[in-house]
Amino acid sequence: MPQDRTFNVLWLQAASCGGCTMSALAAEDGGLMRALGRFGIRLLWHPSLSEESGAEAVAILDDVAAGRVALDGLCIEGAVLDGPDGSGRFQMLSGTGRSMKDWIKTLAPRARHVVAIGSCAAYGGVPSAGINPTDAVGLQFAAWEPGGALGGHFRSASGMPVINISGCAPHPGWVVETLAALALDDTNPDDLDTLGRPRAIADHLAHHGCSRNEFYEFKASAARPSDRGCLMENLGCRATQAPGDCNLRRWNGFGSCTDGGFTCINCTSPGFESPAGPFQETAKVAGIPVGLPVDMPKAWFVALAALSKSATPQRVRANAHADHVVVPPARRPPKLP
């Protein structure tokens, strides 16, 4: 992209609760608009943040669709409603007489990059849960399957597939950094994983950096959300399977789901909205969790868990079932060789 002009972004909300926007607003200390401005990113229009409404907003969309205004990034928040019968008319864009699906399919080829903001836009998310009466899909995926509203073979003007900043909601840093990389022309298809997620984020797991990792190592498990122990064995935590650096960069510089006592539900992956059981219960077969850490054979996990539990220090065992530190670490001088 030439560096003598701004990077124009149009942000539309499809079938969305608005949570992705709420998350993005907390970007950095100065908020979303200042963070984007540092990289020359200009928000052409956002339905919740822009002053323009009615005819003024429609005029902006018309100018982009006609090519009178350059579109560098088309950001879609929320799932695309394909129904009824493929018409997309379950969600109409007010004042235009056209469905949101129709607008997205018109604008996407104009965009240099198309970005799915959140797991609903990426894979269908919550609107696609259950029997999915609205036929909600993601932009380029329907759950795990390529396709979605734009089709598996869609490529934007830059030759890139849809870039999926998944999460429910995604970390504000993921949004700003992805758009910044696009504005700096520093992204190519190899920077995305097989589900279209930026690898800078998805090559990590939510488990990495979790404040409960000592309890995980000894399989000292929490029995209640208020306990300090590991949330995997009993309370349904899927951080060992969930792509994302949520615990390496804390939300708002301070906390994360697991820090707050709520289990990781793997919201960055397709299908998280329809788990095998209740979100805060661990599905088990013969006492063994169904959802094991990625890349770990079941036999290894069983052997490791048995060994770890037998070696659990009393301090860790006691603290795992309390809501505060009951037994502090030992205070003694280190042993010299």
- Residue ranges of domains in the chain: 7-202, 205-323
pLDDT tens digits, one per residue of 12-33: 999 999 999 999 999 988 899 9
Per-chain mean pLDDT for the chain: 93
Strand partners, 324: none
Residue 250, number of CB atoms within 10 A of its CB: 14
Amino acid at 79: A
Helix or strand (DSSP H, E) at 21 = helix 19-24
**Could you read off the pLDDT of 122-142 as tens digits, one per residue?**
999 999 999 999 999 999 999
Instruction: Report the alpha-carbon distance of residue 144 to residue 162 in Å, rounded.
Output: 14
In CATH terms, 7-202 corresponds, of 1.20.1050.140, 3.30.70.100, 3.40.50.1980, 3.40.50.700, to 3.40.50.700
| Res 305 pLDDT > 90 | no
Determine the 3-state secondary structure of 189 from DSSP.
Answer: helix
pLDDT, one tens digit per residue, over 43-85 is 999 999 999 999 999 999 999 999 999 999 999 999 999 999 9
- pLDDT for the residue numbered 162: 98
Q: How many other β-carbons are positioned within 10 Å of the β-carbon of residue 160?
A: 21
Q: Name residue 81's beta-bridge partners.
A: 136
pLDDT at 2: 44
pLDDT at 253: 81
Confidence at residue 93, expressed as pLDDT on a 0 to 100 scale = 96
138 with 116: CB under 8 angstroms?
yes
Q: Residue 288: pLDDT above 80?
A: no
For 205-323, give the CATH class.
few secondary structures
Rg over alpha carbons for the chain, rounded to the nearest Å, is: 22
Q: Take residue 336 and report the two structure tokens written for it.
A: 């010299």
At residue 4, the pLDDT reads: 57
Q: What is the pLDDT of residue 299?
A: 80
Q: Do 156 and 114 contact (CB within 8 A), yes or no?
A: yes
% of the chain residues with pLDDT over 70? 99
Residue 1 has pLDDT above 70, yes or no: no
Mean pLDDT to the nearest integer, 270-299: 83
Quick: pLDDT tens for 188-220: 999 999 999 999 999 999 999 999 999 999 999
Helix axes 55-65, 100-107, angle to 10 degrees: 40
| pLDDT in the model for residue 257 | 95
Tokens of 164: 């999926």
Most confident of the ranges 4-8, 165-169, 306-310: 165-169
Q: Which of 166, 158, 156 is nearest to 79 (CA)?
A: 166
How high is the pLDDT of residue 119?
A: 98
Here the tokens at position 31 are 């908020």
